[in-house]
Structure 1
Amino acid sequence: MDLFTAARDFLRTDGRLVERRLFATVFEGADPVGVVDALRGYQNADGGFGHALEPDKRCPDSQGLDVETAFDVLLAAGARDDEVVRRACDWLQSVATPEGAVSLCTPAIENYPRAEHMAEWTYQPDLNPTAGLVGRLYALGVEHPWREQAATWCAKILANGFPGDAHALHESMEYLEHGPGEVDLEPVREHLAKVSFYRARADDPEYGVTPLHFAPAPDSAWRPLFTDDQIAGHLDRLIADQQPDGGWAITWEPPGPAAELEYRGVETLRALRVLKAYDRLPTS
């Protein structure tokens, strides 16, 4: 069985509805309205998203991390539903600091099972996720007062330098690529080697953010940061990391078996999309 068929069967067997609908849209030409319909089940009355859309915390309450996940799903599907997005922005505005910054999570997650790394640091308003949310809103083409306010805050913070964590840097690069900021490769290139959790080498077995996260497609603004050999090496590694059941594994400890399967579905779909973008799928 080839890589694509094995991954498809894994998603059909063990993936959540939202990943199955997204797979059908991206790879089988299904109407993206089905993806939006699946996302609606995760949207709360307050407009935010929760219910473990991002699977590492099993909290039903709205969280910034789940809103970001919803935006990612919409972008991957090429779906547009301004009402869904604007309601989420209304919620972001309601929980933001006076300057517009938001946090990944709230202390509400403490009342539910969660991965060990989902701790107090996620309660702090920061570039992660504020910059990433702003960048994704620009990519979605949805205007909102919170987007403009938060963009101003991001520009102010980034004027003082880039963050030292690869996750926050990735979020900042989403903002710089899609938002009102400018793409300047050289400062990012110089800073990248200094950040924590950046996995530059394809043979590094540790958890980390790789060049394929920063440049998930050849037309990414950040693709020139990496050599052809780097990208090829990480694509080879991505292919080699497919598991015997057809899915991709995760490299951290989830809160339970259901969360592990759910996140494996997320990562499997991400791997397929990256391989498709770089023309490394045997079939689709």
Structure 2
Amino acid sequence: MREGVGMETFTAAREFIRREGRLVERRLFATLFEGADPAGVVDALRGYQNADGGFGHGLEPDKRCPDSLAIDVETAFDILLAAGARDDEMIGRACDWLQSAATPEGPVSLATPVMEPYPKAAHWSDWTYAPSLNPTAGLVGRLDAFGFEHPWRDQAAAWCASALAQGFPDEAHAMHESMEYLERHSDEADVAKVKEWLPKLSYYRADAADPEYGVTPLHFAPTPDSFWRQLFDDQQLEGHLDRLVADQQADGGWAITWEPPGVAATLEYRGIETLRALRVLKAYDRLPTS
């Protein structure tokens, strides 16, 4: 059953972001919902870009490391794409850093041991130091979405093609990253294989009633015109949209189901998730904003 959404849903979420969100989420909200210039989002991101071209300073809030990490580069790309903004110098410098951080074959790791001296969530451990499809495939996919050409993108894309030819990952986050790449590098047979593979993934939350942490169909298809929307039927998506509406908290924001390294990081991630929820609900015509 489609759950109705009133104007109070949007108003409460807006006030949560204004009250608790970081500057970058507030600027992105203003761009997406209030018609603000996307240049403000780019300006907010500049504070997270290091002299080496990479991004750090906890742009992804689960670790408070100031040094450049690939996960923070990916987060910056996501924010730019959401805003409909493109800054070639910013993106090019980030690609140069990715090239410097990659193995000779092209892949990068989510993080490196430089984060060890800093507060971080428990799940950010040494497994994140292995170069892999997560985040390499996702970074290539985002550069494809920009239409941004760079030698590292081409080298990493070739590595992704080779890695995926050996088999899909067995974990939903890595599969999500791989699907960012496959969106522009797949055929009908690949799509069928992905659909068959999804139920086998750890951390894939197909059931909207499941309260546990996981990657849901709305992560794979955040808008009705998403490439991967074809994997899910209307009933499944409607169930997850109903659940997303129901998960709004009394303070107006959305909760998270993991433990960031501190109170500030928790609020920062709640701001990110609240903005994500608003974007999804708006895309699926569940959110009146005026």
TM-score range, shorter chain: over 0.9
Give the secondary structure class of the aligned counterpart of 1:169: helix
Partner-residue secondary structure (3-state), 1:222: helix
Alignment correspondent of 1:175:
181
* Alignment match, 1:57: 63
> The residue matched to 1:111 in structure 2 has which SS?
coil
Q: Does 1:202 find its partner at 2:208?
A: yes
- Aligned CA-pair RMSD: 0.9
Given residue 80 of structure 2, which amino acid in structure 1 is its aligned partner? L
1: distance between equivalents of 2:17 and 2:26?
6
Is contact 2:282–2:288 with CA below 8 Å preserved after alignment? Answer: no
Compute the TM-score of the two structures, normalised by the length of structure 2.
Answer: 0.96
**CA displacement at 1:181 relative to structure 2:** 4.0
Tell me, yes or no, if the aligned pair for 1:33 and 1:79 is still in contact at 8 Å. yes
AA matched with 1:115: A
Q: Residue type of the partner of 1:199?
A: R
Shift of 1:283: 2.0
Aligned residue among 154, 165, 168 for 1:159: 165
- For 1:142 and 1:224, the matched residues in 2 are separated by 26
Q: 2:227 aligns with which of 221, 232, 235?
A: 221
For 1:29-44, list aligned pairs within 5 A. Answer: 29-44=35-50
Quote the residue 1:8 is aligned against. 14
**Could you tell me which residue of structure 2 aligns to residue 134 of structure 1?**
140
What's the CA shift for 1:93?
Answer: 0.1
Which secondary structure state, in structure 2, belongs to the residue aligned with residue 66 of structure 1? Answer: helix
Runs of at least 5 residues in structure 1 that lack an aligned partner in the other structure: none
Q: CA deviation at 1:73?
A: 0.0
2:201 partner SS: coil
- 262, 266, 276: which one aligns with 2:272: 266
The SS at the match of 2:54 is: coil
Name the aligned partner's letter for residue 249 of structure 2: Q
CA distance in 2, matches of 1:68, 1:24: 21
| One-letter identity of the residue aligned with 2:270 | R
Match of 2:91 in 1: 85
Structure 1 CA distance, aligned partners of 2:82 and 2:264?
23
Letter aligned with residue 231 of structure 1: L
Q: Is the 8 A contact 1:247 1:268 kept in 2?
A: yes
Deviations 1:221-256 (A, max 9, x none): 110111100000000000000000100011001100
Relative contact order, higher structure (CA 8 A, sep 6+): 2
Residue number in structure 1 paired with 2:4: none
Indicate how the Cα distance of structure 1 residues 147 and 181 shifts in structure 2: closer, same or farther if over 3 A, else same. Answer: farther
Q: Which letter maps to 1:99?
A: E
Identity across the alignment (%): 76
Partner of 2:27: 21
Corresponding residue number in structure 1 for 2:258:
252
Aligned positions, number: 283
Q: 1:237 aligns with which of 199, 221, 243?
A: 243
CA-to-partner distance for each residue in 1:176-220, whole Å, 9 max, x for gaps? 114x44463210011001010000000001100000000001111
> What amino acid is aligned across from residue 252 of structure 1 in structure 2?
W
Per-residue CA shift, 1:233-280, capped at 9, x if unaligned? 000000000000100011001100000000000000000001111111
In 2, Cα distance between equivalents of 1:69 and 1:236: 27
Tell me how far apart the structure 2 counterparts of residues 174 and 281 of structure 1 sit (CA, whole Å): 26
TM-score, normalisation: structure 1: 0.98
Alpha-carbon contact 1:2-1:282 (below 8 Å) kept: no
